[in-house]
Amino acid sequence: MSAPHTITVRTVDYGPVDLPEPSWCVKAHRDDIHRADIHHQGVEQPAVMHIPGRGDVPFLTAFLSQYPFAEHGDRGVWVAVEIEGEHYEFGPAGLGDLAATLTSHALYTLLPLRARLQSLSEEL
């Protein structure tokens, strides 16, 4: 693990802002933004499904996220997940709930639909 380092972001409301850069942050920081908009972002990790005729389609992209100078809400690290084009931030409990919902949907909806589809296909 590398030693933490400090970065400087030029803001429109506070001038140059020095702050520690987390080791997991992979996105370049923009200058000329408001201090509250400084954002640390980790590697985007999508689920990917191969769709015949379309190729690999990413969905439910997740990444570590932090707004260290957020004016409202928590300034801690979250996991952001893209759902229907919007990013929602989850803490450990919420991320566990999301994983449980996805698992439940796969087990109790998608797999039974697969079995039903298979039986219908065999009837033809």
pLDDT at position 1 is 53
Residue 93 in tokens? 């409990």
d(Cα 105, Cα 83) in Å, to the nearest integer? 15
The strand pairing partners of 19, in sequence order, are: 7
- Whether residue 56 is contained in a domain is answered as no
User: How many domains is the chain built from?
Assistant: 1
The average pLDDT across 83-105 equals: 96
- Whether residue 119 is contained in a domain is answered as yes
- Whether residue 118 is contained in a domain is answered as yes
- Whether residue 121 is contained in a domain is answered as yes
The residue range of the domain holding 104 is 92-124
Contact between residue 36 and residue 14 where contact means Cβ atoms under 8 Å apart: no
- Whether residue 46 is contained in a domain is answered as no
- Whether residue 59 is contained in a domain is answered as no
- Whether residue 103 is contained in a domain is answered as yes
pLDDT at position 111 is 97
- Predicted TM-score (pTM) of the model is 0.86
